Amino acid sequence: MVTSLGESLRELKDRPYRCPVTSPPSPADGLRDRKKRQTREALATAALRLVAERGLEHVTVEEISAAANVSSRTFFNYFPSKDDALIADPSVDSARFVADLAEVPSDVPALAAVRAAMTGVIERIQADRESWLLRMVVIERNPSLLPRLVTAGAEVERAMIEAVAARVGVPPDHGFPALLVAVTGAAFRTAMLRWAAAGGARSLAELVDEVFEALAAGLPDPRTATPQPAAATT
């Protein structure tokens, strides 16, 4: 029997459980979706590289489009603005989280379930490591992007709150789902910042596990081990 959140985090890793995998698309849909995804990624990558080199105010949509070998009209089929091309699409992460949370066994406590549901998002970030590290540098250097980032984060949080509320059986306006999402969101951002500061040298999944283990333990004060005195020699 699982007796604590910390134990549930560890126990879940040993279960024959994995996040859902979407059904394979038809060949036609797969090719069309793949081309759209490649175009979106090319535009986002071009935007990140140009802004990292020149600064946000010195890059135009036309230049981003040219670097991705598409027209400006095509750019606006994918992104409403230059800022949006620099910020990861929140709908992708929120949809993935909601689907994965629904697959976590119902007896897993909410905190551990949220961590498990983040696995797919974490894997996607690590698979696109260079772009994400560059994205975080661009955001740090261009504070004017923060309002769009906050808006994107709010969209994800709303979806997460509704998913958590459905899981624990309370209305979305109950305090628990919002608190859990706020706390775990802050923990995830902390892990992301540590990951970026280390240049992606450490596993993001391990860093997220560390902060969630701290939450599961009640966020105890960090303690420095007291050095043991050296044994006397004779």
DSSP state of 56: G
Average pLDDT score over residue span 165-171: 97
Same domain assignment for residues 126 and 74: no
Give pLDDT, residue 228.
Answer: 56
Residue range 91-127, pLDDT digits in tens = 778 898 999 999 999 999 999 999 999 999 999 999 9
Higher pLDDT, 195 or 9: 195
41 and 121 belong to one structural domain: no
- Same-domain pairing of 152 and 45: no
- CA angle, residues 200, 192, 15, in degrees to nearest 5: 90
CA distance 189 to 90: 14
Distance CA 69, CA 145 (A): 25
6 located within any domain: no
For 202-218, the pLDDT digits (tens) are 999 999 999 999 999 99
Task: Please determine, for residue 183, whether its predicted confidence score (pLDDT) is greater than 60.
Answer: yes
Residue 156 within any structural domain of the chain = yes
Q: What is the mean pLDDT of residues 13-26?
A: 51
Domain total in the chain: 2
For residue 60, give the DSSP letter. Answer: -
Residue type, 164: V
Quote the Cα angle for 49-126-167, to 5°: 120
CA angle 158-159-161, nearest 5°? 65
pTM of the model: 0.81
At 61-79, the pLDDT tens digits run 999 999 999 999 999 999 9
Lowest-confidence segment of 5-14, 55-64, 79-88 by average pLDDT = 5-14
81: containing domain: 35-86
